[in-house]
């Protein structure tokens, strides 16, 4: 029974990883597609490839998810696995809701919200200090950094190319966007695939197959990397339209800057001492707003931005609520 539950949880975790891929595919390629630097299918193929590579670059973020959000060490294997299962269901439900409405919410915060809600419902230890330090503060600071840095870099690019001919310059930036989109996809894989590695590791620890001190096994890395890569290739057209066109009409130079700045923020957070699981969605969206604001503040469609911001604020509590409800329903049945 326990082995079957472990397999079920692992498969659902990979399903979450797949939904993460198609939900967040727009993060890496929306700007490149909207500026016609890449065709949609070529962009998706490139993003899927670099997601796969990025997922294999480290396990620091995975360790944060596995060990720094909730503590299931003292739970019996069955209860521990039900806890992880319900956290995943909460995250997947919110991902699908926001995907349906075309809102670029955070799969990262959906997963953390699911874990937190189930932790509260089950009475296990929730590491609030770590959540504030590694989740809440980066959730606030990363969009601010993305917006500010994108604005400053875009102003610098405009000044450097102020005397250049617009046509040839934009063509060069369109070519450069291939590299910036690849870097963004690499950072997406580095951040988001590792979160699924962490949740699978949490399930394996709960099931008694690994201990807290064990390294993440190679098959978990490959499975998580493959799932997010396949999800990315399947596309996320609804959210791609929101990021690529509904916030602001992007030109190649602004698309290049937004992607480059976002990739830097993702890599810095992944390799910082905090190993913070930041949201790729928050980062790229705020960077797009930052480059858009260099035209004029009214160029950014703040009504759309407001709806996105509302989804950001609701993600953790909404996923937590769904996760908690799932636990209250499923725990008596599966106990």
Predicted pLDDT at 298: 60
CB atoms within 10 A of CB 4: 9
Question: Which residues of the chain fall below pLDDT 50?
Answer: 243-244, 247
CB within 8 Å of 309: residues ≥ 6 apart: none
Predicted pLDDT at 108: 79
Predicted pLDDT at 120: 92
Is residue 230 within 8 Å of residue 49, measured between CB atoms?
A: no
- For the record, the structure tokens of 35 come out as 């500026």
Q: What are the tens digits of pLDDT across the range 112-126? A: 899 999 999 988 888
Predicted pLDDT at 247: 47
What is the C-alpha separation between 28 and 183, in angstroms, rounded? 8
Q: What are the tens digits of pLDDT across the range 229-241? A: 888 777 655 555 5
Tell how far CA 90 is from the center of its chain.
Answer: 16
Tokens 């990262």 locate to: 108
Predicted pLDDT at 157: 92
Alpha-carbon Rg for the chain in angstroms = 20
For 42-48, which contacts have Cβ atoms below 8 Å and span 24 or more sequence positions?
A: 43/181, 44/232, 44/233, 44/235, 45/233, 46/178, 46/181, 46/182, 46/185, 47/181, 47/185, 47/188, 47/232, 47/233, 48/21, 48/185, 48/229, 48/230, 48/232, 48/233
Predicted pLDDT at 299: 57
Per-residue DSSP letter, 106? -
């Amino acid at each position: 029974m326990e082995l079957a539950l472990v397999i079920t949880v692992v498969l659902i975790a990979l399903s979450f990883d797949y939904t993460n891929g198609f939900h967040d595919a727009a993060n890496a390629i929306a700007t490149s597609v909207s500026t016609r630097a890449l065709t949609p299918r070529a962009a998706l193929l490139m993003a899927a490839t670099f997601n796969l590579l990025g997922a294999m670059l480290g396990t620091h973020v995975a360790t944060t998810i596995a060990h720094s959000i909730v503590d299931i060490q003292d739970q019996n294997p069955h209860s521990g696995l039900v806890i992880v299962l319900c956290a995943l269901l909460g995250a997947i439900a919110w991902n699908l809701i926001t995907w349906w409405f075309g809102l670029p919410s955070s799969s990262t915060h959906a997963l953390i919200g699911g874990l937190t809600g189930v932790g509260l419902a089950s009475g296990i230890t929730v590491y609030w200090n770590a959540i504030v330090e590694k989740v809440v503060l980066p959730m606030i600071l990363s969009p601010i950094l993305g917006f500010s840095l994108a604005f400053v870099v875009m102003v610098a690019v405009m000044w450097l190319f102020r005397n250049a001919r617009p046509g040839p310059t934009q063509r060069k930036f369109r070519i450069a966007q291939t590299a910036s989109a690849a870097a963004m996809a690499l950072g997406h894989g580095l951040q988001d695939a590792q979160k699924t590695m962490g949740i699978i590791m949490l399930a394996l620890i709960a099931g008694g197959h690994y201990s807290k001190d064990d390294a993440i096994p190679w098959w978990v890395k490959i499975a998580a990397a493959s799932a997010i890569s396949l999800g990315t290739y399947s596309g996320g057209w609804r959210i791609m339209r929101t990021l690529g066109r509904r916030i602001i009409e992007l030109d190649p130079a602004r698309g290049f800057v937004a992607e480059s700045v976002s990739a830097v923020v993702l890599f810095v957070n992944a390799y910082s001492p905090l190993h913070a699981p930041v949201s790729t969605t928050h980062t790229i969206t705020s960077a797009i707003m930052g480059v858009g604001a260099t035209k004029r503040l009214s160029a950014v469609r703040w009504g759309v931005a407001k709806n996105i911001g509302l989804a950001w604020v609701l993600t953790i509590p909404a996923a937590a609520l769904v996760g908690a409800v799932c636990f209250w329903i499923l725990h008596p049945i599966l106990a």
